[in-house]
């Protein structure tokens, strides 16, 4: 099928319904974007950023990839973070992982998955760092979910270690990095209570003076 008709029909209805409730919505949005939040989440189709937090276009700047990783050599996520922090001046960066993440599950098995194994290796490294704690759990799903949480903690740290975030803090810019988890089963968010808002909250070795 060359044209995905349903999607165009849905789009028309959606645009009309938004316009019905807010006649100037698209006109105003076309002039600028001014989001307060940068969302870094998993590509999983069941974890859509805007919908989960009930936000409209223009409210959240979004980057999603498999297992919500922020790798310090990945120009894609770094470019998103740079633009969000330096140009849009977002006040919050949210790393939102989710339980039962397929990326984390795939990283925990010993099968070959092709190209993606190069991406998943970052998660395998993380498992290696936390192996004792994770292996102390007996249930496979508990193990995966603990690694899902530890992965969010790690990505929050990776974001804070960037020169982008540290430069923002140095210049007095208000910027907080959060770690959240989402449960697909009931649609509820959980705050992991990681709230990094200045250089004193990160490990000494990563601080750039
Ligand atoms: Co996932």
Taking the C-alpha atoms of residue 68 and residue 115, their distance in angstroms, rounded to an integer, is 17
What pLDDT score was predicted for residue 209? 84
Active-site residue flag, 131: no
CB atoms < 10 A from the CB of 13, how many?
10
Active-site residue flag, 98: yes
Residues around ligand 1, an ion, CB closer than 5 A = 42, 44, 101, 103
Of 46, 72, 121, 207, which one is the catalytic site residue? 46
The share of the chain scoring above pLDDT 90, in percent, equals 97
Q: Quick one: CA torsion of 97, 148, 197, 88, rounded to 10 degrees?
A: -30
Distance 110 CA to ligand 1 centre (A): 18
Three-class SS state of 39: strand
What pLDDT score was predicted for residue 183? 98
Active-site residue flag, 46: yes
What pLDDT score was predicted for residue 130? 98
CATH homologous superfamily of 35-206 equals Carbonic anhydrase (3.40.1050.10)
Active-site residue flag, 96: no
Distance 22 CA to ligand 1 centre (A): 34
Distance 42 CA to ligand 1 centre (A): 5
What pLDDT score was predicted for residue 142? 97
What pLDDT score was predicted for residue 204? 92
pLDDT < 50: residue spans in the chain: none
The answer for residues whose C-beta is within 8 angstroms of residue 78's C-beta and 6 or more apart is 70, 72, 162, 164
| Helix locations, 114-199, DSSP H | 117-129, 131-135, 140-160, 163-170
Of 96, 101, 148, 160, which one is the catalytic site residue? 101
Active-site residue flag, 101: yes
DSSP state of 136: T
What pLDDT score was predicted for residue 195? 93
CB 20 within 8 A of CB 27: no
The domain limits of the chain are 35-206
Token couple for 148: 């899902």
């Amino acid at each position: 099928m060359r044209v995905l008709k349903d999607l165009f029909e849905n789009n028309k209805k959606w645009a009309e319904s938004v316009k019905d409730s807010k006649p100037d919505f698209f006109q105003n949005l076309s002039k600028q974007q001014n989001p307060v939040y940068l969302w870094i989440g998993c590509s999983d189709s069941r974890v859509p950023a805007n919908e989960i937090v009930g936000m409209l276009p223009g409210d959240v700047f979004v980057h999603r990839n498999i297992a919500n990783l922020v790798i310090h050599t990945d120009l894609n996520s770094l470019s998103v973070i740079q633009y969000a922090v330096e140009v849009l001046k977002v006040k919050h960066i949210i790393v939102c992982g989710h339980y039962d993440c397929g990326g984390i599950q795939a990283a925990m098995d010993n099968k070959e998955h092709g190209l993606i194994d190069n991406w998943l290796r970052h998660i395998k490294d993380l498992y290696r760092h936390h192996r004792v704690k994770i292996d102390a759990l007996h249930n496979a799903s508990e193990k995966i979910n603990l690694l899902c949480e530890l992965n969010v903690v790690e990505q929050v740290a990776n974001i804070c270690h960037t020169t982008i975030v540290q430069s923002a803090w140095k210049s007095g810019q208000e910027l907080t990095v959060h770690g959240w988890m989402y449960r697909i089963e009931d649609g509820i968010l959980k705050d992991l209570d990681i709230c990094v808002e200045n250089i004193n909250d990160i490990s000494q070795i990563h601080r750039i003076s």
